Amino acid sequence: MTFFGKLWSLLTGTWTYFWAILTAFPFLGFPLAYFSIFAWKRDRRLAGRWAINITNFLLIRAVAVGYSVIWPEAVSVWWWITGFFVTAIALLGFIQVKWKGKLSLLKASFSVWRLSFLLFGLVYVVLYTTGIVKTMGNV
Q: What is the pTM of this model?
A: 0.85
Whether residue 115 has pLDDT greater than 80: yes
Percentage of the chain with pLDDT > 70?
99
How many CB atoms are closer than 10 A to CB 108? 19
State residue 41's pLDDT score. Answer: 93
- Classified as helix, coil or strand, 43 is coil
Q: What is the pLDDT of residue 106?
A: 93
pLDDT tens digits, 82-100: 999 999 999 999 999 999 9
- HSE-up (13 A, CA, CB side) for residue 45: 0
The CB density around residue 94, as the number of other CB atoms within 10 Å, is 12
- 63, 127 contact by CB (below 8 A): yes
* Contact predicate 97/86, CB 8 Å: no
Residue 50 domain boundaries: 3-138
Report DSSP letters for 98-114, one per residue: HHHSS--HHHHHHHHHH
- Residue 68 CB neighbours (<10 A): 14
Question: pLDDT grade, residue 2 (50/70/90)?
Answer: confident
Q: Which amino acid is at 101?
A: G
- pLDDT tens string 118-139: 999 999 999 999 888 888 877 6
1/90: higher pLDDT = 90
| Mean pLDDT score across all residues of the chain | 91
SS3 40: helix
Q: Which residues contact 53 (CB under 8 A, 6 or more apart)?
A: 113
Domain count, the chain: 1
